[in-house]
Structure 1
């Protein structure tokens, strides 16, 4: 299989050299789930969606911290003094990519497309995992969703007080109450506009037929294997026009890119390659252009102090090194039952909390960072990661690594060891923890570390293996007992992370299916506050509540070592955007 993939890469490289097209070649380490914005909830699908669809707002490519700028809107919104009304003027002359759904007509992007696209998050048929972005916010939409649940049909033509389109290019959004992060929501790629004709034409196949107005379009798609994007010939284009800061790397990029018309790439070829070694070999042989998912082999190309090894410097390989605005965490399903079966880690009884706490105390996060990440991560102590508003670098978790205390805790609450050395539940029933992971070499290492941890406290572990897209489906149904998950910032504010534990977001972003009145009450209050001491106090209280209940074990935030071939021009990792392809160029390779 690996030889076949390398042959395909070599063939594509030869074709690239022959016709002179600028084709960026990259990999994903896990399969996509589709490209319908309301139906996806994974990083990889979202990255492709970012390249195809147009949200109202986006981010300045170079500004740090992240800075909102207009995208499909003419400017940032006009916001009423009470913070509840947003007015957007849609740029004229933006068109969706040509598609048979439009029956030969050029289809202009209008305000109605955004109103329709936002309503789709509320349609109960879609069970959108990102409905939380809008739930409880836009006047009249929650009521329309409730009617749809009762009738079985969502009325997209029903008037909604909070979504008004007084003319083709004006969108007025009225909120139930002020939301300080609402502009960030409208820069999130999944809020990009879809065309109703395309959604209705493709129906359930919409995830395989995305039709947007963004810089790229889907040219070829082999599910879980190959994604090829082509530059959208009807794209309005934009100029590379960003002010660099004091960083020398940014100044170099600006000198190379300033004033160029975007996009400069003709295509982006994405290959799904789950194993790190395969991705590394492809990059090392020059068969891919950018690669960052290489924590496992970091010592191969990087010194202990985070610099490229001399042999790669001599080849002109480039390294962009940042800490991702993300957290990884082991979550426990908090429901009493999973399907028809009792869930040994679920519930709020003292013995269940003790079991979760003991498991968390048995897991040595430092070993995860040292052995699996090869040092390319930092310990996560707080739900809000570095680089995101609300992060507290001085916070320390209540849950230490302490297997001895974990064993004593289990003994105290009646989890006794049997003749086989493994513990049983207090009522004498077998105790088995089932952790879900993918069938990759990377996850096998996590399985082994977790098994060693649970063996140290006499708890039996079973591993549930499935492909990444299938695990995500089960996760949203609250059907996984435990899993090591990750969340990277959708927008640069702590709210995007604290909402992961909000009860109403169960079946959406709340993977632990955690419902705590104390947590929820504080979260709802925090949403009305700007970043500052009062909100920080609430975030601390919410985090302590989560730790007392032991819903998660926070693990790490990964260091992104983005390697680039010498001919890649303009790359720098943005703290929020994931598809930097719009802002890149490819210089001729030496010998071309």
Structure 2
């Protein structure tokens, strides 16, 4: 059987664009970066998706006003399309940005042969798309009730059925062609981090109106790369944007040996150097590892199954790997993984005591230590609270009140009338059959995950069925509350706890709130937290975590340690705590340098 790495989905629509020259960009066409995604994207209109893999591609196509310094620790914002960091007025309530003149969108039929410059109005329009209720943008929560006049337009659109993109808004103004001003409802020094998130990249109104519902397959931006070929759920090819202005690699080391080497080999290079990025969708772990091992991939996250083959007992590269010149970069993610329980599901959802008891028993049945040992091969740590380490609002001393306890789980189910039938499996209190339906994906890791869940649930007498699909379809079902149980993960989009607590905020149902959880107590805490400065929010985040432990829309699992393995010819690689895409910062050594 062919691996997914080498196969092509014949039923997929293939989008191909004209070949691109490299006359203006420093990128070299013969420098091709080959990487893999472990799940498919969902198109590249980031207003309408929050797919992690879509975001990776969007980050190098659409530019934000600000971006992150590549090496700085702790993370640090720097200008992107802005000339400098913003002018801040009224103690963090007003932000004014000057945009660099001479930045152009890539050529596209939507522009009718005219060269299209990036201007302040493009950011005004792009943020209005996030506000437009018909787009159901998950990023709406980032700016909900934060921008003066924004929610008035949102409410008008909900009543009329149409968002007025031409209506003036006090909170977002283009003061002139290159100047944009944001006025917030209250001071918020966290706001610049939000503007650095991928959904806040600039899109041109002409492009949106030209492609309409097909926009996700025709991304047009000003960034270092542009889409060249696209086979949905199989292949993505990017080429260097010939009109991209470029930059010089000039970052300061944090003092580590790794950073020192990066500075030594990369400083002074005109970027980007990579002329083409080939992305293959390889969902099967073994196939991804074999692709890397056979040098078909230039770097990848070390799969769980390959950890014992590559790392020794001290989590260092084994001798045979070092002899091949393979490099290892371990990185503890700013993330949480979890199992979502659909609070609208008729079997496990609801607020009655018997439903809460069922969800609590499911949570207590899960052997997290075994999960980390078997599935992660020890390369993870338990997630104790909603806000992970490395993100503002995390309390390292916080400990979850929910632990592995199948004995207590069984007693709880007995007490609330979930009786065992003759086959040993429990029924609902009304006597009807009880079967948990768990969505999952294909691949060996998913199979092991399903087997562990079945073992744990069997121990408390609950039958489970596993529905195998793909990530994109499972994500769609979860967004529509059309599932029962599914596993998820959330990586920090910006380094503030709000980014994680909004995952369970009631108004975000249909967006990022895929547990479809609505709690007056939780929402009240969330709103109170947003009324405080970021450094004062930890007590609210702790209470929100306790509320989740009481209601169980989530079963918190772990934070992964990603071991990146890198081929010896790749230069400049470093995993960033927030940014998920580093292709524009990399180089590939020439044959002579090899």
Specify the TM-score bucket, using the shorter chain as the normaliser: over 0.9
Residue 358 of structure 1 pairs with residue 361 of structure 2: yes
Give 1:375 deviation, angstroms. Answer: 1.2
Alignment counterpart, residue 338 of structure 2, candidates 325, 329, 336: 329
Q: Is the 8 A contact 1:180 1:529 kept in 2?
A: no
Q: Hey, what's the Cα distance between the residues in 1 that align with 2:355 and 2:544?
A: 20
Q: Is the 8 A contact 2:235 2:279 kept in 1?
A: yes
Partner of 1:527: 530
Residue 272 of structure 1 pairs with residue 276 of structure 2: no
Give 1:415 deviation, angstroms. Answer: 0.8
Question: Quick one: structure 1 residues 591 and 81, their matched pair in 2 at CA, closer, same or farther if it must change by over 3 Å?
Answer: closer
Q: Hey, what's the Cα distance between the residues in 1 that align with 2:261 and 2:370?
A: 38
Residue 382 of structure 1 pairs with residue 385 of structure 2: yes
* 366-375 or 292-301, which deviates more: 292-301
Q: Is the 8 A contact 1:276 1:293 kept in 2?
A: no
* 42-51 or 506-515, which deviates more: 506-515
Residue deviations 1:459-494 (CA, integer Å, cap 9, x gap): 111112221111111111111211111000000111
DSSP 3-state at the match of 2:369:
helix
Alignment counterpart, residue 110 of structure 1, candidates 107, 115, 119: 119
Q: Is the 8 A contact 2:387 2:541 kept in 1?
A: no
Residue deviations 1:172-231 (CA, integer Å, cap 9, x gap): 111122233211110011210001111111111110000000000001111111100000
Partner of 1:2: 2
| Correspondence list, 1:130-209, <5 A | 130-209=139-218
Give 1:83 deviation, angstroms. Answer: 2.2
Partner of 1:220: 229
Residue deviations 1:148-178 (CA, integer Å, cap 9, x gap): 2222222211111111112110111111222
Q: Is the 8 A contact 1:447 1:463 kept in 2?
A: yes
Partner of 1:474: 477
Give 1:304 deviation, angstroms. Answer: 2.1
Partner of 2:59: 50
Give 1:293 deviation, angstroms. Answer: 5.0
Q: Is the 8 A contact 2:335 2:491 kept in 1?
A: yes
Q: Which runs of 5+ in 2 are unaligned?
A: 9-27
| Correspondence list, 1:392-407, <5 A | 392-407=395-410
Give 1:317 deviation, angstroms. Answer: 0.5
Report the TM-score, using the length of structure 1 for normalisation.
0.95
Q: Hey, what's the Cα distance between the residues in 2 that align with 1:324 and 1:429?
A: 42
Q: How many residues align?
A: 575
Partner of 1:581: 583
Give 1:451 deviation, angstroms. Answer: 0.8
DSSP 3-state at the match of 2:325:
coil
Partner of 1:408: 411
The alignment's C-alpha RMSD in Å is 1.6
| Correspondence list, 1:209-358, <5 A | 209-335=218-344, 338=345, 343-358=346-361
Residue 95 of structure 1 pairs with residue 98 of structure 2: no
Q: Which runs of 5+ in 1 are unaligned?
A: 9-18
Give 1:81 deviation, angstroms. Answer: 2.2
Q: Hey, what's the Cα distance between the residues in 2 that align with 1:198 and 1:544?
A: 45
Q: Hey, what's the Cα distance between the residues in 1 that align with 2:189 and 2:299?
A: 35
Alignment counterpart, residue 452 of structure 1, candidates 449, 455, 458: 455
Partner of 1:15: none
Q: Hey, what's the Cα distance between the residues in 1 that align with 2:152 and 2:302?
A: 43
Give 1:4 deviation, angstroms. Answer: 7.8
